[in-house]
Amino acid sequence: MTAPNTAMGTAATGAPVSMSNSTQINATQSVNNANPFVGKPTSASFSNDIPPAYLTWKKPIPNQTFPPLYKIGVSNITFEWTVDPNALKVQPANLTVALANPQKQTYTAAIVPGTATSAHWDIAHLPASSPLMVGYYTVWVYDQRGPKAFPSPGWLMPDSRLVVAMYSTEAYVGRTDSMFCPTCYLGVGRSFHESMMPLLITFGISISTSIIILSSLLA
């Protein structure tokens, strides 16, 4: 019988211990698994001395002075976040990423599993029935309890600290486009001349007649 392939490690006491390949793999997975949402209960109650957990944005980075800028109809947005694993004690059932414009209209960008740490929003292919407006949008991330959930110990707080800006550029109107009319002003001038000439002639005749009458009365 072939002996199992083992690697030698060192215990806390300094004595050599045997570590199998499966143990090494599990240890590596444990180290690489940095998802703070994994391995927690989906529902629990804690004492009030435990604070709620708060989201930390990794991408895009919140900037109140110069919010991240995206072009409507072209850009795509990738959201990435994390949370303090020691503060978060309850795994969300799901996470919703939504954006609210200045008119309080809300666009749902994504609904992802409760263990997700990122979401993608393709604003280059939005339906025509839901066009985006130019302006600043507040990004909301919240769990199954909704955006107005009450702060609960160990639960994820709804987050609305990220603001992004949406902009659009007007399409260029070429000289061959039907909207461009180089002779429009010439036509307008000709029409104005034709319509005003009879009125001017009539006005001139009236002035001349009035002068003749006044001259005869004063003679």
pLDDT tens for 97-120 read 999 998 889 999 999 999 999 999
pLDDT average, residue stretch 155-183: 72
What is the per-residue pLDDT for 162? Answer: 97
Helix (H) or strand (E) holding 28: helix 21-32
User: Is 70 exceeded by the pLDDT of residue 135?
Assistant: yes
Which two tokens mark 161? 């600290």
Which residues in 44-66 are b (16+ Cβ under 10 Å) and which e? eeeeeeeebbebebeebeeeeee
User: Is 50 exceeded by the pLDDT of residue 65?
Assistant: yes
pLDDT average, residue stretch 155-184: 71
Of 180 and 83, the structure prediction assigns the larger pLDDT to: 83
User: Is 70 exceeded by the pLDDT of residue 173?
Assistant: no
Beta strand 55-59 with 118-122 is: unpaired
Of 122 and 197, the structure prediction assigns the larger pLDDT to: 122
What is the per-residue pLDDT for 128? Answer: 83
Residues whose CB falls within 8 Å of the CB of residue 79, separated by 6 or more in sequence, listed in order: 57, 59, 60, 97, 109, 110, 118, 119, 120, 121, 139, 141
54-63, 128-137, 143-152: which has the minimum mean pLDDT? 128-137
What is the per-residue pLDDT for 25? Answer: 38
